[in-house]
Structure 1
């Protein structure tokens, strides 16, 4: 009985210390617009401890990224935004980076990722939607 309780407690403590690996959706270069830059940016952001999931889309020299942040990390959103932006900019210095922790932006990028993967959006429509997101992300 004591051994069973001890095993349960140890298993619980070990499980709490482990972090699930974030695996963002990789759209790739077969989409309507090449998503290699967005996929690379998502991998960089997925490695951040505070991030649960990340969505992102790229078009031409612009990269749009929105992570979903752990609940306990929400008090440090400004720091997460700054660090995430810097990580992407370091990897893609010539790109214009838009980085937001806003849930609405996350959901919109998720829709665009799915449309790109299914090839149900035109390049013109993608450009228009990203322009609208740019305005939201600027403030």
Structure 2
């Protein structure tokens, strides 16, 4: 009986530690948006290539790229390092752009909403610029 209990506990622990490989493709906004999003789409792919990143949302505007990755639960202990490496990887590809990377969940949600509005063309350029300015302030502080 004792042996059976130990085996059951071991199996529960082993099954809880397994991680499933997920392939999540970010929303590709591209040309359909009010403001073309090619840079943001490419930057999202760069961040997704990082092992710790599960999902990425992001937008771009003129010479700015705003990104928010969602990382694996265990890797949340290393958010500063993930942000820094993500920023460096994107900056290598887009040296003339100002890159903003945030792992804040609230920023992730807001950027996701903005991404969808761009894709659906339900936002004006003026409102888009105002939202980005607001997001940039939240990312700084």
TM-score category by the smaller chain?
Answer: 0.7 to 0.9
Alignment of 1:18-33 (within 5 A): 19-33=21-35
Q: CA RMSD in A?
A: 1.5
TM-score, length of structure 2 as denominator length:
0.85
C-alpha displacement of 1:59: 0.6
Alignment of 1:33-48 (within 5 A): 33-48=35-50
1:55-75 superposed Cα distances (whole Å, 9 cap, x missing partner): 000011100000011101000
Structure ID, larger Rg: 2
- Structure 1: stretches of 5+ with no match in the other structure: 1-8
Off by >6 Å, runs of 4+ in structure 1:
none
1:70-127 superposed Cα distances (whole Å, 9 cap, x missing partner): 1010000000000000011011000011100000100000000000000000111000
C-alpha displacement of 1:17: 6.3
Rounded Cα–Cα distance in structure 2 between residues aligned with 1:50 and 1:87: 14
Aligned length in residues? 127
Aligned to 2:131: 129
TM-score, length of structure 1 as denominator length:
0.87
- What SS does the aligned partner of 1:90 have? helix
- Structure 2: stretches of 5+ with no match in the other structure: 1-10
